[in-house]
Structure formats: structure tokens, C-alpha cells
Amino acid sequence: MIPRWFLPVGIITLCLALVPFAIVAKIRSTKSTETRPQIIFDMDQQPKFKAQAVNGLFADGRAMRPRVPGTIPRGELQEDDHLYRGKTGGEWATDFPMEVTSRMMQRGRERYDIFCLPCHGYTGDGNGIVSQRAESLREGIWIPPLSYHSDVIRSKPVGNLFNTISNGIRSMPAYGTQIGTEDRWAIVAYIRALQRSQNATIDDVPAAKQSKLR
């Protein structure tokens, strides 16, 4: 005869056997603020510095050392005034230092949507979502950007626009570090396209398609 305690004890054991699984399931479904447990270290942490790692040897803790002021890395001497500063002969350049291609225009559009769109909006009239949010906060320090289609900006030479992106202007931040040189020129090209698009006349449309619009 199987004793009477056998069944309850068996059931309890089976239930207890499920507890570890329940614990693991909980771990899996919840977030943890702890790093994963490391039982065997292997070579997970090597005595080398990856990008943006911490190096206690320096006061600021950066393993990636900032450039020493006043020095130029090899091969990065920016001699070409036109390309790097948008100036020709001391004046704002009125033409592009490279050929404007449709590829460059596509690139400009993509970069514009990444970096300028938040503030300047899709068409460049200055009502990007960040700009709207900033105004709705009513702090009084936000100066909404001017529309690209105002005469002031339409009349600016491309070199000046390039400089605005690189170094910022008044409350507009500088994007020289975030955007590469070629990409900045591509954005300028796209701004020109935007300006053209918002101030277009029917004569800009190819004659064959004009009838469709009317």
C-alpha cells in the first residue's frame, strides 16, 4: 500500500520543481539594472580602450583624447577656402566647389531631413516640430528660424549658407562637427532646390506637363 502522504508530497515536489522555471521566466520578462552575471570572464574585458571608453589616467576620464588646440592632424589641413569655408577671394562664394549632381541633391535631401528638419520643417519655412514645441513652452528665449523663402535668405550666396551650417548663426547651433564638408554643400544645394520649389512659376514646369497643371 502506498502511504497516504505520498501523493501530496509528490505533488508538492512537482510544484517546487516548477519554481526555478518561474524565477527564470520572471528574469526573462523583466528589465534588470544589473549587468549580466559573468561566471567565466574569458577575454570579455581586455586591457584596451574601445571608443568612448573611460580611462582613469586622465582627469576628464576620456580614453578618446580631444585634439590639442592649435594642431592639425596629418592630411586634414583645410587649405581650400572655397570648399571648407565657402569663400572665394575673401567674398562669400556664389557657386559650388563641386559639380551639383542629382546624387548630391538626393544626399542633400537626406541630410536635410536628418539635421535641419526638426527646426526648419519639411519645406524650410521654419515651423519644424522642435520649433513648434519650443514656442509652445513659452519660455521666451526661442527665436523661431526665418523661412528660407524670405528674400533675405534667398538672396544669400551659397557660401554664406554653407558658413551658417558650419558655424551657426546667432541662436542657430553650428553643425560643422556633426555633418561632413561634402554633406554640408549637399544640404546647401537642397536648400536652393527648396527655395526654387516654393517660389516656382508655371514657366518652371516643362512645357509638355504644363497643360496637366492647369
116 lines the binding site for ligand HEC (CB under 6 A): yes
Q: Which stretch binds other proteins (CB under 8 A): 67-75, 89-97, 134-142, 154-162?
A: 134-142
Q: Which is nearer to ligand HEC, 24 or 169 (CB)?
A: 169
155 lines the binding site for other proteins (CB under 8 A): no
16 lines the binding site for other proteins (CB under 8 A): no
Closest Cα to residue 87, out of 155, 152, 157?
157
Supply angle C-alpha 130, 132, 137, rounded to 5. Answer: 95
Joined grid coordinates for residue 86: 565657402
- Smallest separation, CB 175 to ligand HEC (Å): 5
- Smallest separation, CB 74 to ligand HEC (Å): 26
Q: Which is nearer to ligand HEC, 32 or 71 (CB)?
A: 32
Distance CA 120, CA 173 (A): 13
Candidates 164, 185, 189, 194; binder of ligand HEC (CB under 6 A) is: 164
DSSP H helical segments within 74-180, as ranges? 81-85, 102-115, 117-120, 129-136, 151-154, 158-167
Closest Cα to residue 100, out of 210, 193, 172?
193
- Smallest separation, CB 99 to ligand HEC (Å): 20
Candidates 11, 173, 199, 210; binder of ligand HEC (CB under 6 A) is: 173
114 lines the binding site for other proteins (CB under 8 A): yes
- Sequence-distant (≥ 6) Cβ neighbours of residue 44 within 8 angstroms: 38
Q: Which is nearer to other proteins, 109 or 154 (CB)?
A: 109
171 lines the binding site for ligand HEC (CB under 6 A): yes
Task: Report the site for ligand HEC in 43-102 (rule: CB under 6 A).
Answer: none
Distance CA 195, CA 156 (A): 11
Instruction: Count CB-CB contacts under 10 A for residue 105.
Output: 15
Distance CA 94, CA 184 (A): 15
Write out the residues near ligand HEC by the rule CB under 6 A: 42, 115-116, 118-120, 130, 133-134, 137, 143, 145-146, 153, 161, 164-165, 169-173, 175, 187, 191
